């Protein structure tokens, strides 16, 4: 299996621009998670899906962030408009319920 | 209250020695899972080991073992025969099963440095 795939691996954008991060979970996994990692706040869960349905989005910072999972093999995390404080590494992870989560390589986002 | 506490920001260990990374957790659930992840400098998060709250035996995976002390609510990671490649950040995490939620709560991590 190819593991969790994320794209892009690096993104540099200017403040105010829209950013879209993409994730392909491991085939057969029915839970998908988006995390953000910063030095100040560590690893934060932003949102997670079970069977393509958003279950808990309480970690989404504000309305500028949105996430979708249109099918079992694809999810997006969108930031519009982006701000410098959104600079972080964004991880996508997938699992089957009650099992370990497998993380993608992450997307390093820099907003200037 | 923090659900996962890792009190050691950094640890040093001599190559080939064993090291214990501390983790305590806080939950009122009877059923939960405990996980350790490794994050090397390259940035990826690598799953290492899992312990279920009802597992009577401590989990082991190769050189990794989880010292599970339920009454103390601790789930320390023991790495035996440390190697230079073990230098990384290590995160302890917990999943609470009672709510049916599948998300993990992570600690702040411990940076392990293996000295040659």
DSSP string, chain B: --SEE---SEEEEETTS-EEE--EE----SSEEEEEEEE-TT---EEEEEEETT--SPPEETTEEEEEETTTTEEEEEE-S--GGG-EEEEEEEEE-TT-----EE---EEEEEE-
Residue-wise pLDDT for A60-78, tens only, equals 988 899 999 999 999 999 9
Q: Between A and B, how many residue pairs show a Cβ–Cβ distance under 8 A?
A: 45
| Residue that wins the pLDDT comparison between B104 and B60 | B60
C-beta atoms of A42 and B108 within 8 A: yes
- Residues A29-42 have pLDDT tens digits of 999 999 999 999 89
Cα–Cα distance list, B57 to B36, B38, B68 (Å)? 16, 22, 8
End-to-end CA distance of chain B: 38
A55, A56, A105 ranked by CB distance to B44: nearest: A105
More confident residue, B101 or B67: B67
Question: CA of A83 to nearest chain B CA: how many angstroms apart?
Answer: 23
Interface of A with B in 59-88 (CB under 8 A): none
As a whole number, mean pLDDT of residues B31-57 equals: 95
Whether the per-residue pLDDT at A1 is higher than 70: the answer is: no
Q: Which chain B residues contact residue A108 at CB under 8 A?
A: 43
A58: helix, strand or coil: coil
């Amino acid at each position: 299996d190819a593991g969790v795939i994320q794209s892009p691996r690096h993104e540099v954008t200017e403040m105010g621009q829209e950013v879209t991060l993409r994730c392909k979970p491991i085939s057969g996994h029915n839970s998908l998670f988006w995390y953000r990692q910063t030095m100040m706040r560590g690893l934060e869960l932003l949102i997670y899906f079970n069977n393509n349905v958003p279950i808990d989005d309480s970690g989404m910072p504000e309305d500028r962030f949105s996430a979708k999972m249109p099918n079992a093999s694809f999810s997006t995390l969108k930031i519009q408009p982006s701000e410098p404080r959104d600079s972080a590494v964004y991880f996508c992870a997938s699992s089957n319920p009650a099992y370990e989560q497998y993380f993608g390589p992450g997307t390093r986002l820099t907003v200037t | 209250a923090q659900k996962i506490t890792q009190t050691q920001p950094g640890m040093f260990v001599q190559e080939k020695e064993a090291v214990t990374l501390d983790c305590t957790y806080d939950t009122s659930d009877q059923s939960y899972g405990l996980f350790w992840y490794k994050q090397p400098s390259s940035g990826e998060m690598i799953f290492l080991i899992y312990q279920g709250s009802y597992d009577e035996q401590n989990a082991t995976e190769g050189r990794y073992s989880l010292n599970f002390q339920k009454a103390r609510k601790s789930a320390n990671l023991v790495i035996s025969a440390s190697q230079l490649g073990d230098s990384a950040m290590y995160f302890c995490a917990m999943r609470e099963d009672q709510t049916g939620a599948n998300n993990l709560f992570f600690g702040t991590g411990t940076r392990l440095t293996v000295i040659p």
